[in-house]
Chains A and B, each alone.
Chain A
Amino acid sequence: EAQVTQNPRYLITVTGKKLTVTCSQNMNHEYMSWYRQDPGLGLRQIYYSMNVEVTDKGDVPEGYKVSRKEKRNFPLILESPSPNQTSLYFCASSFIDGGRNNEQFFGPGTRLTVL
C-alpha cells in the first residue's frame, strides 16, 4: 500500500530534551516536506527536500533540523524543544512536475506536546 508513515503519533516531552520524529514513504517520491499545523494558521512549512542530500528551509525552520540520507526517509529533529513547538506535525511527499509540486501525500500526523 502506498503510504507515508510517521512515528511516533503522539509524544509528550520536556523542554530541552532532544527528539526525532521519523517519516518514511514507499512511493519513490523525490520531494518530501515537514509542516506544522496550528489553529487558525493552516499548514506552515518547516523544511523540505527535493532529493537525497538536498534540503531547504521552509517558512518556519527555527528550532528544527532535517536530513535526507535516503530517498524514502526524512526525519525531523528538535535538538532543544521548547513549549512553542507544541503542535501537530505532518510529513508529506510528492513527485516533482515541471518545477512545481504535484499532489502531496500526507502522513497521519504527530501530535507533540513540549512541557
Chain B
Amino acid sequence: AQSVTQLGSHVSVSEGALVLLRCNYSSSVPPYLFWYVQYPNQGLQLLLKYTSAATLVKGINGFEAEFKKSETSFHLTKPSAHMSDAAEYFCAVSDQTGGFKTIFGAGTRLFVKA
C-alpha cells in the first residue's frame, strides 16, 4: 500500500539559507512522486514531479528534488530561501496499486526569517 511520511510539520530557515523538506514514501511498484505548494488561502499547485525519467527533478521557483529508490526518499531542496517561499508543502505519491489514488503527506509548513 502507498504511504507518504513528511518529517517535520514545521521547518524554519533564515532568508538565504538552504531549504530541505523531507519526504519518504512507501510503494511496491515504481511510483509517480509529486511536491505541491499551498500559499495562504489558496489551493495547491504543482512544484515538481517525478515520473521515472531523470532522478533529479527541477521545478518552479528554484526548487528541486532527488528520487532515491534505495532510500525511498524524495526530499525537496532549494539552495537559497526567499521570503516568498513561506508556505505549506505537500509530498504525494501515486502508483498503480493505489487504484488511481494519490496519497498526500501531512504537510510541512516552511517559515522564512528575515
Chain B residue numbers with a CB within 8 Å of A44 are 104
Interface range, A side: 20 to 34
A107 CA to B45 CA in the complex, in Å? Answer: 9
Write out, one digit per residue, whether chain A residues 44-87 have a CB within 8 A of any chain B CB (1) or not (0).
11001010000010100000000000000000000000000000
Contact of A103 among B49, B101, B105, B106 (CB under 8 A): B49
For the complex, give the distance between the alpha carbons of A98 and B29 in Å: 13
Interface residues of A in 87-114 (CB under 8 A from B): 90, 92, 96-104, 106-109
B96 touching A41, Cβ below 8 Å: no
> Do A48 and B100 have beta carbons less than 8 Å apart?
yes
A109 B32 Cβ-Cβ under 8 A: no
For window 60-114 of chain B, which residues contact chain A by CB distance below 8 Å?
Answer: 90, 94-96, 98-102, 104-107
Distance of B14 from chain A, by nearest CB (Å): 25
Across the two chains, which residue of chain A brings its CB closest to B106? Answer: A42
Per the bound structure, the CA–CA distance linking A56 and B98 in Å amounts to: 12
Q: How far is the CA of A107 from the CA of B42 in the complex (A)?
A: 9
User: Interface centre among A35, A41, A43, by most B CB within 10 Å?
Assistant: A43
Query: In the complex, A4→B46 CA distance in Å?
Result: 14
Separation of A50 and B95 alpha carbons in the complex (Å): 15
Residues of B with C-beta under 8 A to A33: 102
- Closest chain-A Cβ to B92's Cβ sits at a distance in Å of 8
Contact string, B30-45, partner A, CB cutoff 8 A, digits 1/0?
A: 0110101000011111
Tell yes or no: A31 within 8 A of B by CB. yes
* A42-B43 contact in complex given A31-B100, A100-B100, A101-B102, C-beta closer than 8 Å: no
| Given contact pairs A107-B43, A108-B43, a sample of 17 additional A-B residue pairs in the complex whose CB atoms are under 8 Å apart | A4-B43, A42-B90, A42-B104, A42-B107, A48-B101, A90-B43, A92-B44, A96-B100, A99-B100, A100-B94, A100-B96, A100-B98, A102-B32, A102-B51, A104-B34, A109-B41, A109-B43
16 A-B Cβ contacts within 8 A? A4-B43, A35-B104, A42-B105, A42-B107, A43-B44, A44-B104, A56-B100, A96-B100, A97-B51, A100-B31, A100-B98, A100-B100, A101-B94, A101-B101, A102-B94, A106-B36
